[in-house]
Structure 1
Amino acid sequence: MSRSRTYLIVVLSLTALAGYAQLSPGDLTTAHASLEGMSNCTQCHDLGNKVTNAKCLACHKELQSLITQKRGYHVSREVKGKDCFTCHSEHHGRKFEMVRFDEKAFDHSLAGYPLEGAHKPVDCRKCHAPEKIKDPGDPRTTKDLHGA
């Protein structure tokens, strides 16, 4: 193969990779891994635009329900009016934590559930574990945590 042909192949390959990186800046988190692939982009993105809250809430119906009822953390002064991706950015890979905050400084009363009495000293992970959390808008979630 001629030197110019090899050069052309290398340049075209690098251009294609750079173009793909513009379209897909990285792997999705484990939670959204099923949406990976070029044919699924519009599930979250409007063509040529950023992710919209409406697209997030179309899948995360439990949060939409709480927001409609004006309940929970996502209607608090801390979050109201922000884009979902402000706190929950994507395309950082499978092991990326979508929810990041200082657990010790978090004001749980903003979620509509102040930690009082026996709940105050409980470690966050005692309740906030994937196998325990269902629909946060469903009162049975709390009952399930207490074994009722």
Structure 2
Amino acid sequence: MERATLVIPADPNRIRAVLLDPRALPLWNEAFLGVDGPPHPAVGQQYTLRVRPGLSGRLEYTAIEPDRIELRWEVPGFRETGTWTIGEAGLVGHSFTQAGPLAALLRTAYRGIATVRLERLADCVGQLRLVD
């Protein structure tokens, strides 16, 4: 399991808005080339996912709570379950587990990725423009 935390100085609703925009996930997760499906997620809703280097699979939200969002995605030979927690004072945590033969091959490449994802999330949150 990989895990990291980062203080993101933003309103928790802004952080949630980025995490709950499935079609925008490729803007801050470099592994994702595209996510197709409804713009507003629901637990269990399936999304078509394309990842580098061109594999296709599926993504779904498995938990959507005020302080916790969980995503599961898979492509042939690779499965990941990732959890995002949104705490007090902008403390955001990310952890994930991976399984499958492709995950075993890529294990060293994913070291430190939880921190990288948090940094990219922070950048995206900073650029988010909410419309009232």
Q: TM-score, normalised by structure 2?
A: 0.36
Bigger Rg over Cα: 1
Structure with more helix by fraction: 1
Higher relative contact order (CA 8 A, sep 6+): 2
Q: TM-score, normalised by structure 1?
A: 0.33
Structure with more strand by fraction: 2
